[in-house]
Homo-oligomer: A and B are copies of this chain.
């Protein structure tokens, strides 16, 4: 499956609004790309490890599409700017975005 990973690194002084992310951002992605081959969004929130270490990332998201063509169409399509433009509404950090093939 063609999957976009969106990884938000923690940074000193930066915030991440997990409520906004789940209640507003993910539904926005689903609404805009639901008809464009979106298969689903998985989100993983970093927590302290068993040793109490701070997590290096706020959040890791995996955005799956039914095909490479659907993924490319979504990233290059009319809704990408709106989705990317929503990011400053929940965090001040820039995510690292990558295209992946699920093994």
Contacts and interface: CB of A to CB of B under 8 A. Distances in A.
A18 B101 CA distance: 12
A99 B3 contact: no
Interface size of A as a range: 20 to 34
Contact of A50 (B60, B96, B99, B101): B99
Interface stretch (A27-35, A40-48, A84-92): A40-48
A62 B50 contact: no
B103 A60 contact: no
A100 interface: yes
Interface of A: 3, 5, 7, 18, 22, 42-50, 55-57, 59-60, 62, 71-72, 75-76, 96, 98-103
